[in-house]
Structure 1
Amino acid sequence: MERIAFKMFLNKGFEAEYKKRHDEIWPELTNLLKDSGIANYSIFLDEETLVLYGVLDCHNEIEYQNLPFQPVMQKWWEYMKDIMKTNEDSSPVSIPLREVFYMK
């Protein structure tokens, strides 16, 4: 298992909308993530900077790397692009974070 962390960037004024959309996350998306070996997935918001921090456990690196090619994932990105910083393919701008400490 690999622990993965990254940061993304929320547009100002969309804090409540971001939370709402994730409270109503599509079952087909959660199923895809779980089927791809993703577990213990959390996203935290720094309300001062509007930086989002994601942390997840990845049990299948190959399936994780294939997520961007899945239609449900692409549809979710399209749905979220109006409230986040995104790339040209509508995927969120996501910067990997290096783990420097972990206490079990």
Structure 2
Amino acid sequence: MQRVCFRLQVRKEMMDEYVVRHASVWPEMLNALSETGWHNYSLHLDRSDGTLIGYFETPSLKDAKAGMEKREINAKWQADMAPFFVALDGKRPDEGFLQLEEVFYLK
């Protein structure tokens, strides 16, 4: 199982709304994530500066991303979430996150 950790930057003025949106993620989006191999998915927000850290486990990041790419609900969710982030350089949030290197893991 591949462990994936990533970082994005939420706009400070949009942090509260970002949290609200994630309190009720669309059921179709949740199903799509589960069905395409995104497991133990969590997001952590530093409200002091908008740093968002995400973590999930997947058999294959490449396959998980490719699976979501085929889902219409993902395109809608990414378009809805894109305004919340800075520095995406025209990419969708699921394409523009910075994947962090794992340097230690305690089983």
* Same fold by TM-score greater than 0.5: yes
Matched, 1:82 2:50: no
Name the % identity.
30
Partner of 2:103: 100
* TM-score (norm: length of structure 1): 0.88
More helix, by proportion: 2
C-alpha distance after superposition, 1:14-48 (max 9, x if no partner): 11111110111001101000001111000111222
Partner of 1:48: 48
C-alpha distance after superposition, 1:34-87 (max 9, x if no partner): 001111000111222211000000024443131234221110011112221234
* TM-score (norm: length of structure 2): 0.86
> How many residues are aligned here?
103
- Unmatched tracts of structure 1, length 5 or more: none
Matched, 1:16 2:19: no
Q: Distance in 1 between matches of 2:63 and 2:99?
A: 18
CA RMSD for the aligned pairs? 1.5
